């Protein structure tokens, strides 16, 4: 994996997915062009300052020092690359899949990457996108890409996961032709420990959507069951732990304040949208969406119930929210249910203070949220009516917070049992 190679790789999009791919390709000895349309992102990378947890400033420094990593917003640098990997966003616009960035990336390749032998789409897309819209856009530009091989390989990266990283998570690969599948598999074998080849790009595209929809649906199931368990006076966490003693046929999912990030709230729509085009609704996805989307409002109702038990209204109560990002150990605020909980509490008159040592503090201020430094947490907890744990960052001193706060609502099962700690 460490042999220096003459091959040049372009990674289009230098975000949560693209940067770890660029890092892995650099580690494998390739020369890597990190192309991103965002000039600010490119400047940050050149500084070097990493915008994500999985690639550190020091990693970037080392990559830049070898002269084999070039962050750039100039598509002219795509000329002469052998392989182009596309890792750009696939958001929803007005609730529908938006392929603008994917198609723009394909056009940049088709305009500038003359001679590119292999193009791989890693962004999450609906089945058929790689073969049709993406390949069509590759054919639009100046470069003759009629002989370029095109494949899909979903990104399975789990930001902040120290155990499952880009290199040791099995990489699924499906081409638009057999030759593309083999070429893409051979390429990823130089970056990853395990490559799983599937029969087509469509199988790989849909497998990624199944993975995330499976997670989304199961989280919705346990979130709904959690609400019922609370009404029945049964501890949902104990129920899940008990079911998990079964050694087969059951996988644990935990209830929480909802789902967030770039994947779970969005990817199932890519699948349901494709299904609905066949004239059939995707009932499971619709229901799971509805349940998970209502979870922040449920958390706010529980907070109101708890304050009420202390003869306090939400209006005017001081509430300390622990965590604003959508997952522990990450600063990613995209689609974060924690932000929705905080905004709903504020809308009901709550005086909410937020502590999130991972999130960009300026971004929190732009949302109008007063922040608390993690070093001042215990003092702040003592001066509040209620602490609500929304995202369980490892820096939080749970025991000391519980010792200081009058009341703690724990939506993440992170606090030890105590009379003032209420579980989800």
Ligand X SMILES: NC(=O)c1ccc[n+]([C@@H]2O[C@H](COP(=O)([O-])OP(=O)(O)OC[C@H]3O[C@@H](n4cnc5c(N)ncnc54)[C@H](O)[C@@H]3O)[C@@H](O)[C@H]2O)c1
Which residues form the catalytic set?
263
Tokens, residue 72: 């750039």
> Judged by CB, which is closer to ligand X: 172, or 390?
172
Selected binder of ligand X within 8, 26, 41, 68 (CB under 6 A): 41
> Judged by CB, which is closer to ligand X: 232, or 362?
362
- Residue 153 binds ligand X (CB under 6 A): no
Residue showing tokens 């917070």: 401
- Residue 330 binds ligand X (CB under 6 A): no
Q: Specify the DSSP class assigned to residue 311.
A: T
Stretch that binds ligand X, among 35-43, 274-282, 344-352, 358-366 (CB under 6 A): 35-43
Stretch that binds ligand X, among 13-21, 179-187, 347-355, 397-405 (CB under 6 A): 13-21
> Judged by CB, which is closer to ligand X: 27, or 36?
36
CA-based angle 39:260:301, to the nearest 5? 135
258 half-sphere exposure, CB direction, 13 A CA radius: 27
Q: What b/e readout covers 119-151, taking b as 16+ CB neighbours within 10 angstroms?
A: bbbbbbbbbbbbbebbbebbeebebebeebbbb
- Residue 112 binds ligand X (CB under 6 A): no
Cα–Cα distance, 62 to 9 (Å, whole number):
18
- Residue 377 binds ligand X (CB under 6 A): no
- Residue 157 binds ligand X (CB under 6 A): yes
- Residue 38 binds ligand X (CB under 6 A): yes
Selected binder of ligand X within 24, 84, 105, 401 (CB under 6 A): 105
- The neighbouring-strand residues paired with 1 are none
Stretch that binds ligand X, among 98-106, 193-201, 391-399, 402-410 (CB under 6 A): 98-106
Closest separation in Å from C-beta 201 to ligand X = 15
Using CB positions, name the residue nearest to ligand X: 15
CA dihedral 73, 76, 79, 81 (to 10 degrees): 0
**Which strand ranges, in their side-by-side order, compose the sheet holding 195-197?**
69-72, 31-35, 8-12, 83-86, 118-121, 149-152, 171-175, 195-197
**Which strand ranges, in their side-by-side order, compose the sheet holding 318-322?**
351-355, 318-322, 386-389, 408-410, 421-423
Q: What are phi and psi of 406, to 5 degrees?
A: -70, -35
Closest separation in Å from C-beta 305 to ligand X = 33
- Residue 70 binds ligand X (CB under 6 A): no
> Judged by CB, which is closer to ligand X: 159, or 255?
159
- Cβ atoms of residues 110 and 84 within 8 Å: no
Q: Specify the DSSP class assigned to residue 408.
A: E
- Site pattern 257..276 for ligand X (x: CB under 6 A): ----xxx-------------
Interface size with ligand X, residues (CB under 6 A): 28
Stretch that binds ligand X, among 14-22, 239-247, 379-387, 392-400 (CB under 6 A): 14-22
Closest separation in Å from C-beta 163 to ligand X = 15
Closest separation in Å from C-beta 164 to ligand X = 12
Residues 343-372 that bind ligand X (CB under 6 A): none
Cα–Cα distance, 231 to 59 (Å, whole number):
50
Residues 229-258 that bind ligand X (CB under 6 A): none
Other residues' Cβ atoms within 10 Å of the Cβ of residue 255: 26
Distance of CA 317 to the CA centre of its chain: 32
Cα–Cα distance, 89 to 17 (Å, whole number):
9
Q: What are phi and psi of 343, to 5 degrees?
A: -65, -35
Selected binder of ligand X within 7, 37, 53, 80 (CB under 6 A): 37
Residue showing tokens 């003459």: 6
- Residue 123 binds ligand X (CB under 6 A): yes
Selected binder of ligand X within 90, 190, 336, 411 (CB under 6 A): 90
- Site pattern 124..143 for ligand X (x: CB under 6 A): x-------------------
> Judged by CB, which is closer to ligand X: 330, or 380?
330
> Judged by CB, which is closer to ligand X: 42, or 314?
42
Question: Residue 415's closest CA among 327, 297, 403, 238?
Answer: 403
> Judged by CB, which is closer to ligand X: 108, or 306?
108
- Residue 84 binds ligand X (CB under 6 A): no
Residues that bind ligand X (CB under 6 A): 12-18, 35-38, 41, 87-90, 101, 104-105, 108, 123-124, 155, 157, 159, 261-263
């Amino acid at each position: 994996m460490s042999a220096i190679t003459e091959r040049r790789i372009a990674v289009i999009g230098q975000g949560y997915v693209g940067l770890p791919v660029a890092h892995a390709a650099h580690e494998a000895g390739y020369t890597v062009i990190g192309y991103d349309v965002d000039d600010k992102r490119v400047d940050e990378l050149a500084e070097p300052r990493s915008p994500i947890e999985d690639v550190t400033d020091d990693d970037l420094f080392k990559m830049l020092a070898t002269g084999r990593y070039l962050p750039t917003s100039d598509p002219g640098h795509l000329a002469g690359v052998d392989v182009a990997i596309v890792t750009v966003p696939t958001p929803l616009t007005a609730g529908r899949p938006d392929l603008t960035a994917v198609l723009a990336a394909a056009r940049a390749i088709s305009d500038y990457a003359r001679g590119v032998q292999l193009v791989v789409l890693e962004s999450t897309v609906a089945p058929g996108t790689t073969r049709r819209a993406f390949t069509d856009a590759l054919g639009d530009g100046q470069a003759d890409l009629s002989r370029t091989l095109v494949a899909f390989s979903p990104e399975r990266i789990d930001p902040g996961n120290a155990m499952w990283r880009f290199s040791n998570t099995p990489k699924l690969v499906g081409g638009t032709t057999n030759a593309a599948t083999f070429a893409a598999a051979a390429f990823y074998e130089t970056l990853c420990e395990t490559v799983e080849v599937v029969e087509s790009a469509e199988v790989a595209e849909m497998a990624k959507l199944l993975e995330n929809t499976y997670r989304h649906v199961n989280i919705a199931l346990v979130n709904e069951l959690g609400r019922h368990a609370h009404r029945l006076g049964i501890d949902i966490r104990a129920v899940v732990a008990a079911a998990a003693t079964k050694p087969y046929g059951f996988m644990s999912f935990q209830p929480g304040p909802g789902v967030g990030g770039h994947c779970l709230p969005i990817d199932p729509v890519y699948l349901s949208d494709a299904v609905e085009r066949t004239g059939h609704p995707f009932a499971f996805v619709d229901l799971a969406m509805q349940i998970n989307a209502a979870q922040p409002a449920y958390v706010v109702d529980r907070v109101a119930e708890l304050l009420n038990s202390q003869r306090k209204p939400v209006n005017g109560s001081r509430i300390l929210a622990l965590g604003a990002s959508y997952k522990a150990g990450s600063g990613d605020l995209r689609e974060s249910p924690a932000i929705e909980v905080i905004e709903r509490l504020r809308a009901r008159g709550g005086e909410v203070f937020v502590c999130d040592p991972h999130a960009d503090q300026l971004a929190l201020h732009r949302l109008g949220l007063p922040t608390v430094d993690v070093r001042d947490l215990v003092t702040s907890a003592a001066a509040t009516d209620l602490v609500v744990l929304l995202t369980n960052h490892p820096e939080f001193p749970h025991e000391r917070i519980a010792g200081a706060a009058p009341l703690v609502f724990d939506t993440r099962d992170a606090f030890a049992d105590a009379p003032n700690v209420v579980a989800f």
